[in-house]
Structure 1
Amino acid sequence: MVPTEHSTVSQKLAVALMSTGYGRHIDALKRRTAPYFAVIEPILQRHGIPNDFKFLPLIESDFKANAVSTAGAVGYWQFMDETARDMGLKITSENDERKDLVKSTEAACRYIKFLYRKLGSWTLVAAAYNGGIGMLQNQMVRQRKQDYYTLALNEETGYYLYRILAVKELFTNSGQYARMALGPMAYTDNPYEREREQARRMGWVQDDEPMPVGESITTEEGFTSSDNDPAVIDSLLAGILKKKASIKTVFAGDAEARLTKAGKAKLGQIWLFEMTQDVQLRETTVKAGDIIHAVVDDIDSRGQIFLRTLKVVSAATHESIPLTFLLINPATGQAGAPLPKALKSGWLTSWRLL
């Protein structure tokens, strides 16, 4: 989830979209990258890494095996020598495995999982992949923030995730951006598209909705349009859209727990949460009623609290369960969650397994 409701986020994403240069050639780019994605996607899935990371080598190297950066990074995933060797790649004068798509992708997955274990957020992982984990952790400590979208970073790293998001958006909604690249004349001979574009501007139609098939809806009798506004939404479409069911927040996390005892809202305090349901996590089963003992890592200026487990205790046996969780925002999947205005027992929280 990307917090585009914040003006700075939406502005940066818009700039990234405009500066990709892919809009006019997105169909050709999709054809060119399809063979690479066919190799990369199953490897990402096997390692439990979000599919969006397939766009990193496109951003990093344009899928060129022989790509070399000014800093000396080489190959599809742009590994420096030391990191490549740490991730198990061989580098010799005769054979540089950074130029092997399968082997370098496997190494990239190992490195991405290492970053995720340290950071607990996929957005922060992408930033660390670009700027280095040391730099990112230093900035997080200095600024007392743990959210990519609010961190002040150098220009390249500060825009890195937006470049990935822009490319994903172009690949996902290529038809829309192809029309944008053509300009206003794209809708000249298609009144249905004019209507749909106005619906988008008014917020009635979301781009993730399936495109209807068939002819444009005929205007109902008695409905007239203004000569000054030829692209008018007809009343039948408006009625359908009004009946659309609201979209509920999708639960994002590995486990859910309710607050049983809150400590003070300050660093180092211990808070207790009770699991709400049985969950199978890796080889371990956590049962409803098991207790999470969590410590406050941070509370930022926006009122978000960052909690991580010290231990999880079985309600049945009172033994510690070898699992580590981070509190997350269920709407974004990122570490940290906004504190309720009226904090009390029963506050439902989402947790991600590290």
Structure 2
Amino acid sequence: MVPTEHSTVSQKLAVALMSTGYSRHIDALKKRTAPYFAVIEPILQRHNIPNDFKFLPLIESDLKANAVSSAGAVGYWQFMDETARDMGLKISPENDERKDLVKSTEAACRYIRFLYRKLGSWTLVAAAYNGGIGMLQNQMVRQRKQDYYTLALNEETGYYLYRILAMKELFTNSAYYERMALGPLAFTDNPYEREREQARRMGWLQDEEPVPAGEPVSFDDAYPSNSANDATIMDSILVEILKKKATSKPIFVGDAEARLFKAGKAKLGQIWLFKLTQDVQLNEITLKADDVIHAVVDDVDSRGQIFLRATNVVSVATHVKYPLAMLVINPATGQAGVSLPKALKPGWLTTWRLL
């Protein structure tokens, strides 16, 4: 669920849609990407990653094998050398597996699952893929926020998820946006060189490093110009977005539902107990209703959200302890953490996601 009822969110999504240059030729783009998505989608499914992540390499590299970024990332999924090797890809002058669609997608899935285990939120995973998990976690701690939509991030990472959402929206409602006849926005400077300069300032790129061979890819700043026509298009997009009111129906379904059995204190490190509400299959383990989840409190933030992590589940019938890693999530957003009820008592229902 994208909280488009928030003005900042709806405006950013409108800007991302407006600045997407594919809107005139979305049907042609669908045809071009179909063979790539036919390879990517089953791999995402096998790794239990949302299908929407297929748009990530389209955003990153325009689905071009020889794409290179200003900071030196290469290939479909734009891996830097070190990360690529950490994820099992081989890099040599003769063979760079970042340019292999299957191998690089498998590596990207391993990296995405790693990020999800750390963050427990697919929106935060997308942000971390772009900006780095260290930067994102530092900002989450500094700002005391756990929600991508409320975090203040650098320009590129702050718009990154919106660009993915915009691409999904174009693929889903192509006829409407083709009628809008949107086009790419022009900029007076060179975004590729601007990004290289930013990479130098951040220490990612040294002056003596040669310019990488390949086709440049760059993040296009997502700000509309001030023309009257652009303002009209912007208003039209905002109206269309705001028509789609948020729904309370959960679109993220957790792996398990449980009710509170015994609460500890709402403090870091406290143990809480929950009982499953129904039989459930988690990986190779079959659990029964009333089996007990042992959870530890990871954090309670200033907004009253509690972050619970399961360490194991105990079978009531056999007393066998199954080590399982799960997070309590907000079923409406799919993000880690859930607001504590005003009256905390046994029977409080929670949704859990397997890591």
Question: Is TM (by shorter chain) over 0.5?
Answer: yes
Q: For the residues of structure 1 that align with 2:137 and 2:79, how far apart are their CA atoms?
A: 20
Query: Which residue pairs with 2:114 in the alignment?
Result: 114
Superposed displacement of residue 299, structure 1: 2.1
Superposed displacement of residue 251, structure 1: 6.6
Superposed displacement of residue 247, structure 1: 7.9
Q: For the residues of structure 1 that align with 2:252 and 2:334, how far apart are their CA atoms?
A: 9
Contact kept? 2:250, 2:333, Cα under 8 Å: no
* TM alignment of 1:23-172, pairs within 5 A: 23-172=23-172
Q: For the residues of structure 2 that align with 1:67 and 1:156, how far apart are their CA atoms?
A: 18
* Closer, same or farther: CA 250–92 of 1 in aligned 2, 3 Å: closer
User: Which sections of structure 1, spanning at least 5 residues, go unmatched?
Assistant: 184-196, 208-245
Contact kept? 1:252, 1:332, Cα under 8 Å: no
Q: CA RMSD in A?
A: 2.4
* Closer, same or farther: CA 202–90 of 1 in aligned 2, 3 Å: closer
Query: Which residue pairs with 2:329 in the alignment?
Result: 328
SS at match of 1:171: helix
Q: C-alpha deviations, 1:236-255, integer Å up to 9, x for none?
A: xxxxxxxxxx9844571000
Q: TM (normalized to structure 2)?
A: 0.79
Query: Which residue pairs with 2:8 in the alignment?
Result: 8
Question: Percent identity over the alignment?
Answer: 84
* Closer, same or farther: CA 249–120 of 1 in aligned 2, 3 Å: closer
Superposed displacement of residue 263, structure 1: 2.2
Deviating more after overlay: 33-42 vs 299-308: 299-308
* Closer, same or farther: CA 182–79 of 1 in aligned 2, 3 Å: closer
SS at match of 1:306: strand
SS at match of 1:152: coil
Q: For the residues of structure 2 that align with 1:349 and 1:310, how far apart are their CA atoms?
A: 16
Superposed displacement of residue 316, structure 1: 2.2
AA at the equivalent of 2:272 = W
Query: Which residue pairs with 2:175 in the alignment?
Result: 175
Whose RCO is larger (CA < 8 A, sep 6+)?
A: 2
AA at the equivalent of 1:317 = T
AA at the equivalent of 1:39 = V
AA at the equivalent of 1:161 = L
Higher CA-based Rg:
1
Q: For the residues of structure 1 that align with 2:241 and 2:253, how far apart are their CA atoms?
A: 29
Superposed displacement of residue 10, structure 1: 1.6
**Which aligned segments of 4 or more residues in structure 1 are displaced greater than 3 angstroms?**
200-203, 246-251
* Closer, same or farther: CA 202–124 of 1 in aligned 2, 3 Å: closer
Query: Which residue pairs with 2:279 in the alignment?
Result: 278
AA at the equivalent of 2:20 = T
Q: For the residues of structure 2 that align with 1:201 and 1:55, how far apart are their CA atoms?
A: 22
Superposed displacement of residue 202, structure 1: 12
SS at match of 1:63: coil
SS at match of 1:267: coil
Q: For the residues of structure 1 that align with 2:19 and 2:352, how far apart are their CA atoms?
A: 36
Q: C-alpha deviations, 1:12-57, integer Å up to 9, x for none?
A: 1111111112221212211221121111111111221111111111
Q: C-alpha deviations, 1:43-77, integer Å up to 9, x for none?
A: 11122111111111111111111111111101111
Q: For the residues of structure 2 that align with 1:49 and 1:65, how far apart are their CA atoms?
A: 22
* TM alignment of 1:144-223, pairs within 5 A: 144-181=144-181
Q: For the residues of structure 2 that align with 1:72 and 1:249, how far apart are their CA atoms?
A: 40
AA at the equivalent of 1:168 = K
Superposed displacement of residue 143, structure 1: 2.4
AA at the equivalent of 2:291 = D
Q: For the residues of structure 1 that align with 2:322 and 2:122, how far apart are their CA atoms?
A: 25
Contact kept? 1:269, 1:296, Cα under 8 Å: yes
Deviating more after overlay: 123-132 vs 317-326: 317-326
* Closer, same or farther: CA 331–179 of 1 in aligned 2, 3 Å: same
Q: For the residues of structure 2 that align with 1:173 and 1:313, how far apart are their CA atoms?
A: 47
Query: Which residue pairs with 1:186 in the alignment?
Result: none
* Closer, same or farther: CA 312–182 of 1 in aligned 2, 3 Å: closer
Q: For the residues of structure 2 that align with 1:8 and 1:342, how far apart are their CA atoms?
A: 32
Contact kept? 1:253, 1:352, Cα under 8 Å: yes
Q: For the residues of structure 2 that align with 1:97 and 1:295, how far apart are their CA atoms?
A: 40
Q: For the residues of structure 2 that align with 1:299 and 1:130, how far apart are their CA atoms?
A: 27
Contact kept? 2:311, 2:323, Cα under 8 Å: no
